[in-house]
């Protein structure tokens, strides 16, 4: 049985994703997310007794590229769709504390 | 001060992040260049534009496997990529590509030197490949600037077991790791450029009256110099013991778990970091964009061949083959290139002892001045071979050889040509030496008298005459020959 998604779990996931949730969303999301997880419970009913566990969805291997530089974008191109810039930096809300 | 009733053991495990010296990034072919103007080495992949596809850098995988093999790790047949989810402006995807349950390297060890001359093995739990984040610029008033040049640079995270029990062991392990990655030529391991960053996990096991107490484990984040690594560990040792003394039952691992602290370089203290909420809730999941890496024996063998002789093996060989002391052998195996030059010179017929003396004499002195390795002062095998042979043949004496050494480093010239041009070749013409000796005696009757009287000042005056001859020959007369002639004349 999958975990029940209650308001606390939704608030936790929202916090991890840096999303502020409205009261309206807090009312609708628990039910919706619980439905999604219940769908996975349905899959659990399948008999996978003799099936090797799958670790990767793509049946390719060793797709590697040589270490040869290509042309990068110019700062103007890179920053073209950015909401805000400061010189050639992406400008974002002030972050404090840890990090580089 | 530690109470005499307490037995206190420091327990440290260390995570080391090593930036690999590839030309390009881990998942795109933008340049991996430190110090370029902001956002000049960026593309759709490393700025995380929707719909882009990362492609692994083959060389970064090779480099990481080399480190794993050199650490005697198991490099498994199958390794894959995972997403580590967290939100921070320097990580535009909202996840870092990393390796969670199937890392590229696991269960190795690194031998470190101890002060008493013995060695200790520090176990390595795992080493996995991941991408670096960008850099936040905090100097903009009221905002943060993000530079994504570093985003996606290949980073090898090497995680040790908690096997270190002193500040010296932690420093020894970190330095040994720096030497190893430089030896393998997979990273410049330059601390100023942030090529190596440390995160020690520190706690104490304290035994008092037969009971053992464990203090909460502290992880100190983002240390980027050996000095701050040592400072942080030493400070935590003291701080945790003092905290524990105040409340032996309460200040415990069981009750308080793990904490993050930062290090204030200027004050030399660690500071509490408000726990990044749910920092460990990374919700790892397999990355669907990157196929698995399947490694076979042929691949591992190719890299073993490229690695060649490792530092500890070479050091043992130098002690055995060249009869060097541990200290000298160790000094010559700080990097691969210095020993390579020595070995090639010996192979070309130079005497190993003379080569070693040259390298560890003027070579080490110049390297020390320039803060680089001996090889990096620019000495070539040809120069070393020729100068060592000239010494062996008596073409130059030791003093002249040092002068030649300095000049050949300065000008990249050939030692014999330098010695000829500067009149540093030893004078083998006995008649000429005789002449200098006679002149010195004739010009310094006072000194001659003192020597003939045989008093206390005799040796000093003899030394003075020796000096006069050497000066007249501009250092080119063989001292042993001068001494012999002087003694004959004055006896
Ligand atoms: Zn890129």
Chain B: nearest CA to A27, how far in angstroms? Answer: 23
What distance in Å separates the CA atoms of residue B341 and residue B377, rounded to the nearest whole number? 12
B362 within a domain of the structure (yes/no): yes
**Residue A56: which of B127, B86, B293 has the closest Cα?**
B293
CB B350 within 8 A of CB B385: yes
> What average pLDDT does range A38-61 have in this prediction?
85
Enclosing domain of residue B122: 6-294
| Chain-chain contact of B40 with A75 (C-beta, under 8 angstroms) | yes
Alpha carbon B324 to chain centroid distance?
21
pLDDT in tens, B228-240: 999 999 999 999 9
Looking at the fold, whether B83 and B231 belong to one and the same domain comes out as: yes
A98 within a domain of the structure (yes/no): no
| Chain-chain contact of B87 with A18 (C-beta, under 8 angstroms) | yes
Looking at the fold, whether B123 and B242 belong to one and the same domain comes out as: yes
B38 within a domain of the structure (yes/no): yes
Looking at the fold, whether B262 and B328 belong to one and the same domain comes out as: no
pLDDT in tens, B438-480: 999 999 988 888 888 887 888 888 899 999 988 888 777 878 8
A21 within a domain of the structure (yes/no): yes
Structure tokens at B334: 């700080």
Enclosing domain of residue A38: 7-44
- Chain A residues touching residue B88 (CB < 8 angstroms): 95, 99
Asked if B42 is an interface residue toward chain A (Cβ–Cβ < 8 A), one would say yes
Q: How confident is the model at residue A98 (pLDDT cuts 50, 70, 90)?
A: very low
- Chain B residues touching residue A15 (CB < 8 angstroms): 277-278
ipTM score for this prediction: 0.85
Model-level pTM greater than 0.90?
Answer: no
Q: Which of B266, B294, B322 is the last residue of a domain?
A: B294
User: How many Å is the Cα radius of gyration of chain B?
Assistant: 30
Q: How confident is the model at residue A49 (pLDDT cuts 50, 70, 90)?
A: confident
For B352-363, the three-class secondary structure string (H helix, E strand, C coil) is HHHHHHHHHHHH
A24 within a domain of the structure (yes/no): yes
pLDDT in tens, B365-409: 999 999 888 999 999 999 999 999 999 998 998 889 999 999 999
B71 within a domain of the structure (yes/no): yes
Mean pLDDT lowest for which of A59-63, B22-26, B38-42, B272-276?
A: B272-276
Per-residue confidence (pLDDT) for residue B247, from 0 to 100? 94
Domain of B482, CATH number, reads 1.10.10.410
* Whole-number Cα distances in Å, B347 to B104, B309, B343, B355, B392: 38, 16, 6, 11, 16
Neighbours of ion ligand 1 (CB under 5 A): B 28, 30, 43, 45-46
Asked if B283 is an interface residue toward chain A (Cβ–Cβ < 8 A), one would say yes
Mean pLDDT for chain A? 87
Looking at the fold, whether B272 and B355 belong to one and the same domain comes out as: no
What are the residues whose beta carbons fall under 8 Å from the beta carbon of A92, sequence distance 6 or more? Answer: A84, B89, B143, B144, B145, B146
A70 within a domain of the structure (yes/no): no
> What average pLDDT does range B251-270 have in this prediction?
92
Per-residue confidence (pLDDT) for residue B417, from 0 to 100? 95
Q: Which of A63, A70, A99 lies at the smallest CB-CB distance from B90? A: A99
Main-chain phi, psi angles of B380, to 5 degrees: -105, 160
Q: Which of B389, B421, B453 is the last residue of a domain?
A: B421
Looking at the fold, whether B325 and B474 belong to one and the same domain comes out as: no
Structure tokens at B125: 């739990």
Chain A: nearest CA to B55, how far in angstroms? Answer: 6
Cα A82 to averaged position of ligand 1 atoms, centre (Å): 16
B354 within a domain of the structure (yes/no): yes
Q: Which of A17, A65, A94 lies at the smallest CB-CB distance from B58? A: A65
Mean pLDDT lowest for which of B107-121, B154-168, B234-248?
A: B107-121
A23 within a domain of the structure (yes/no): yes
Looking at the fold, whether B336 and B408 belong to one and the same domain comes out as: yes
Asked if B193 is an interface residue toward chain A (Cβ–Cβ < 8 A), one would say no
Q: How confident is the model at residue A96 (pLDDT cuts 50, 70, 90)?
A: low
Q: Which of B57, B148, B276 lies at the smallest CB-CB distance from A98? A: B276
Instruction: Return the residue of A nearest to B101 by Cα.
Output: A55
- Chain A residues touching residue B87 (CB < 8 angstroms): 16-18
B299 within a domain of the structure (yes/no): no
Looking at the fold, whether B281 and B325 belong to one and the same domain comes out as: no
A95 within a domain of the structure (yes/no): no
- Chain A residues touching residue B198 (CB < 8 angstroms): none
| Chain-chain contact of B47 with A78 (C-beta, under 8 angstroms) | yes
> What average pLDDT does range B335-341 have in this prediction?
93
In this predicted structure, the answer to whether residue B277 has a pLDDT above a threshold of 70 is: no
Q: How many domains does chain B have?
A: 3
Q: How confident is the model at residue A2 (pLDDT cuts 50, 70, 90)?
A: low
- Chain B residues touching residue A12 (CB < 8 angstroms): 278
Q: How many domains does chain A have?
A: 1
Per-residue confidence (pLDDT) for residue B61, from 0 to 100? 98
| Chain-chain contact of A89 with B290 (C-beta, under 8 angstroms) | no
B304 within a domain of the structure (yes/no): no
pLDDT in tens, A68-88: 999 999 999 999 999 999 999
A78 within a domain of the structure (yes/no): no
**Residue B314: which of B340, B285, B290 has the closest Cα?**
B340
A39 within a domain of the structure (yes/no): yes
pLDDT in tens, B142-195: 999 999 999 999 999 999 999 999 999 999 999 999 999 999 999 999 999 999
Chain B: nearest CA to A46, how far in angstroms? Answer: 22
Looking at the fold, whether B163 and B40 belong to one and the same domain comes out as: yes
Per-residue confidence (pLDDT) for residue B431, from 0 to 100? 85
């Amino acid at each position: 049985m999958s975990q029940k998604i209650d308001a606390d779990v939704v608030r936790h996931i929202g916090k991890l994703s840096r999303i502020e949730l409205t009261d309206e969303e807090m009312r609708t999301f628990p039910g919706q997310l619980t439905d999604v997880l219940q769908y996975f419970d349905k899959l659990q009913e399948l008999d996978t007794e003799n099936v090797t566990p799958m670790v990767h969805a793509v049946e390719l291997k060793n797709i590697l590229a040589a270490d040869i530089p290509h042309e990068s974008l110019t700062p103007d191109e890179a920053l073209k769709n950015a909401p805000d810039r400061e010189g050639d930096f992406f400008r974002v809300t002030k972050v404090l504390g840890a990090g580089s | 001060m530690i109470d005499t009733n307490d037995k206190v053991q420091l327990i440290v495990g260390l995570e080391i992040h090593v930036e690999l010296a590839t030309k390009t990034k881990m998942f795109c072919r933008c340049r991996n260049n430190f110090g370029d103007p902001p956002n000049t080495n960026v593309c759709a992949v490393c700025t995380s534009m929707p719909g882009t596809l990362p492609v692994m850098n083959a060389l970064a995988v090779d480099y990481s496997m080399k480190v794993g093999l050199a650490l005697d790790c198991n490099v498994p047949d199958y390794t894959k990529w995972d997403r580590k989810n967290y939100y921070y402006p320097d990580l535009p995807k909202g996840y870092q590509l990393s390796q969670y349950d199937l890392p590229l390297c696991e269960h190795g060890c690194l031998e470190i030197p101890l002060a008493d001359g013995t060695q200790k093995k520090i176990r390595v739990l795992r080493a996995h490949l991941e991408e670096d984040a960008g850099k936040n610029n905090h100097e903009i008033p009221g905002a943060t600037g993000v530079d994504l040049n570093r985003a996606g640079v290949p980073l090898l995270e090497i995680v040790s077991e908690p096997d270190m029990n002193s500040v010296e062991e932690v420093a020894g392990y970190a330095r040994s790791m720096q030497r190893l990655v430089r030896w393998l030529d997979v990273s410049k391991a330059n601390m100023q450029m942030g090529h190596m960053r440390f995160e020690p996990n520190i706690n104490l096991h304290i035994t008092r009256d037969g009971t053992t107490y464990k203090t909460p484990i502290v992880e100190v984040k983002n240390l980027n110099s050996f000095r701050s690594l040592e400072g942080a560990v030493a400070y935590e040792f003291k701080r945790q013991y003092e905290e524990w003394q105040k409340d032996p039952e309460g200040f415990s691992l069981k009750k308080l778990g793990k904490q993050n602290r930062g290090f204030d370089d200027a004050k030399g203290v660690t500071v509490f970091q408000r726990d990044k909420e749910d920092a460990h809730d990374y919700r790892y999941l397999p990355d669907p964009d990157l196929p698995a890496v399947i490694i076979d024996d042929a691949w591992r063998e190719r890299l073993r061949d490229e690695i060649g002789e490792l530092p500890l093996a070479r050091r043992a060989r130098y002690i055995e083959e060249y009869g060097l002391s541990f200290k000298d052998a160790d000094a010559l195996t700080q990097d691969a290139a210095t020993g390579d030059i020595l070995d090639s010179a010996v192979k070309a017929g130079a005497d190993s002892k003379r080569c070693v003396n040259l390298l560890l004499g003027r070579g080490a002195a110049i390297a020390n001045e320039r803060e680089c390795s001996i090889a990096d002062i620019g000495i070539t095998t040809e120069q070393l071979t020729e100068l060592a042979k000239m010494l062996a043949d008596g073409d130059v004496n030791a003093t002249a050889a040092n002068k030649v050494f300095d000049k050949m480093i300065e000008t990249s010239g050939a030692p014999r040509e330098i010695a000829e041009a500067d009149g540093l070749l030893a004078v083998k013409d006995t008649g000429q030496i005789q002449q200098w000796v006679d002149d010195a005696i004739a010009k310094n009757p006072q000194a001659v008298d003192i020597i003939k009287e045989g008093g206390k000042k005799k040796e000093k005056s003899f030394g003075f005459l020796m000096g006069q001859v050497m000066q007249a020959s501009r250092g080119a007369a063989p001292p042993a020959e001068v001494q012999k002639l002087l003694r004959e004349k004055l006896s």
